[in-house]
Amino acid sequence: MPRPIVARIHPDAVRHNLQLVRQKTPDSRVWAVVKANAYGHGIERIYPALAEADGIALLDLDEAVRVRELGWKKPVLLLEGIFTPADVAIADEYGLTVAVHCTEQLDLLCAAQVKQPIPINLKMNSGMNRLGFRPDVFRAAWERARSSASIGEITLMSHFASADDGDVDWQVDRFDAATSEIPGPRSLANSAAVLWHPRTHRNWVRPGIVLYGGSPSGLSRHVADIPLRASMSLTSQIIGTQTLSLQETVGYGRIFAANEPMRIGVVACGYADGYPRHAPTGTPIAVDGTLTRVVGRVSMDMLTVDLTPCPKAHVGSQVELWGDQVKIDDVAQASGTIGYELMCALARRVPVEVH
């Protein structure tokens, strides 16, 4: 029998969360962001839940081709655009929309012979200082794109540095000032801006993490009043128990010591499954539906939990690492990261079921 660990993917949750995005952005078209293999869920597994989206956005050409091969006829956006002339040919063949964030990408597109003009999202660096043309050269980039025979419709795009903590106006103002004379659809909003900044919604929105039920800020309390559903759960079982006497320690490094006699359970899940090694004592976890805490250091294939709140737990008891009861954001926060990273880091060795 394989180890009892299993990840469950819930396409219905993605469908539900997408509808919620729709309600929040009734006048916008929606790019469903499925980069990083749909935030670790597997594009193919959640694909049926995306039918109502207006487009699919991702980074890898391979993933874009996979989406086309699944039968997706609506737009597909490459969020980092193309890197080589061969990429332009693939974008042309599969009818992809490409982000254009630098002069080198414009050069590549302008030099290409294409069957059909390639639609682009021309990206402005409005303050993130990662990808994009600065506001003062944006108009010139747009003029060049507009006059190129190989470039089709031009959407004006930018990305926020801190939409999750309320600070978008300075970027929106820069973007609006530099584009006031430029026609075309606009696309600004990630998940945080979808939830919290209606001013940014414009023609297209680009939600990622909310489709999977995660909090854009990394803090579960920030979405506590929004009926999102978790689209990934990770469960396993207790495979052993120990009774510690006073001052006995558990696991590597002996970082947890019992300050009274206690029972602990050993769970078949470790960092090689994608559970964060940095999860400290106190990280939430559920055993047979009862919330308890991780104790001691997470090892490669196992971790240990406090069974004090669940005295009936035994070998074979069900454990939820994250899911409906234990928020992935709470596990992430305890471990110094965000739900995004835990979803993406789900290890290949974990069996996945789709429900």
Q: Which of 35, 186, 201, 297 binds ligand PLP (CB under 6 A)?
A: 35
Q: Does residue 56 interact with ligand PLP by CB under 6 A?
A: no
Q: At closest approach, how far in Å is the CB of 214 from ligand PLP?
A: 8
Take residue 124 and report the two structure tokens written for it: 């402005």
By CB under 6 A, name the one of 79, 96, 120, 338 that touches ligand PLP: 79
CA distance 286 to 189: 35
Q: Which stretch binds ligand PLP (CB under 6 A): 202-210, 231-239, 287-295, 302-310?
A: 202-210
- Report which DSSP code applies to 162: S
- 3-class state of residue 165 by DSSP: helix
Query: How big is the site for ligand PLP, counted in residues (CB under 6 A)?
Result: 11
Note whether 159 binds ligand PLP by CB under 6 A. Answer: yes
Q: Interface with ligand PLP includes 218 (CB under 6 A)?
A: no
For tokens 């993933």, name the residue.
63
Mark the segment that binds ligand PLP (CB under 6 A) among 13-21, 102-110, 203-211, 325-333: 203-211
Nearer to ligand PLP among residue 123 and residue 297 (C-beta) = 123
Under rule CB under 6 A, which residues in 229-258 are in contact with ligand PLP? none
Out of 94, 212, 252, 275, pick the active-site residue: 252
The answer to whether residue 207 forms part of the interface with ligand PLP (CB under 6 A) is: yes
The residue annotated as part of the active site, out of 24, 35, 123, 327, is 35
Do the beta carbons of residue 125 and residue 116 sit within 8 Å? no
DSSP class per residue in 287-314: ETTEEEEEES---SS-EEEE-TT-TT--
For the CB of residue 124, give the shortest distance to ligand PLP in the complex, in Å. Answer: 12
Could you tell me where the beta strands, DSSP code E, fall in the chain?
6-9, 29-33, 55-58, 76-78, 97-100, 118-124, 151-158, 186-189, 204-205, 232-244, 249-250, 256-257, 262-267, 284-287, 290-295, 303-306, 318-322, 352-354
CA–CA distance, 87 with 80 (Å, rounded to integer): 12
DSSP state of 231: S
- End-to-end, the C-alpha distance of the chain in Å comes to 21
For the CB of residue 280, give the shortest distance to ligand PLP in the complex, in Å: 26
Binding residues: 130, 300
35: annotated active-site residue: yes
Distance (Å) of CA 96 to CA 57, 60, 154, 157, 186: 10, 12, 13, 16, 18
Nearer to ligand PLP, 19 or 116 (CB): 19
Assess 191 for contact with ligand PLP (CB under 6 A).
yes
Q: Which stretch binds ligand PLP (CB under 6 A): 48-56, 208-216, 222-230, 246-254?
A: 208-216
Q: What residues line the site for ligand PLP (CB under 6 A)? A: 33, 35, 79, 159, 190-191, 206-209, 216
- Enumerate the active-site residues: 35, 252
